[in-house]
Structure 1
């Protein structure tokens, strides 16, 4: 099971575990309950407490509203990632163009050096 930093619905009450600590909302990754939310001890990973309570049985329709809110947040993040992806593609294109210019400049200078060296040799030996 993995804990998540999920928000609770406005109507939800604070649930405390057997340790007396606030029980965060977790999301199950077990095959038979994948994606289902539950309250679990915040120290569950350290195996100090076995508190467990399904979130959706207590909240009823609030789960659907929370999922809609989560979907909206994910859609906003997707739009931001698409914009960022476009910007990164433009940056890569720009960097590739600069790289080609630098490579061409380096080839030009090497060619100029070898040309001047050949001219020098030809003049020196009278060819």
Structure 2
């Protein structure tokens, strides 16, 4: 069963199911970022912006924010990110970390659509 859907930006997202632990403040969010070294490959020129470079995204990525996380199997944590349209998406923190690198190649996911080719 496919739990993915498209958000209003046209991105294929995996909405969270169950309880989301939302960060209440910047300090909580920063603790999580530091714990998993999510900012390790993030260029300083990117500032506070996080980039999602998944399937169907432009190669440069789509801005998102780190919204919170979910715990599954009582021990693993999965990030929940929020896109500009307010839609939420579940992603492994290691994947988001890799996407921050300017060398990250999302061409394996990139599908040229008529809109992307014209845009």
Q: Do these two structures clear the TM 0.5 threshold for a shared fold by scoring above it? A: no
Larger radius of gyration: 1
Of structures 1 and 2, the one scoring higher in RCO (CA 8 A, sep 6+) is: 2
**What TM-score comes out, normalization by structure 2 length?**
0.20
Which structure has more strand as a fraction of its residues?
Answer: 2
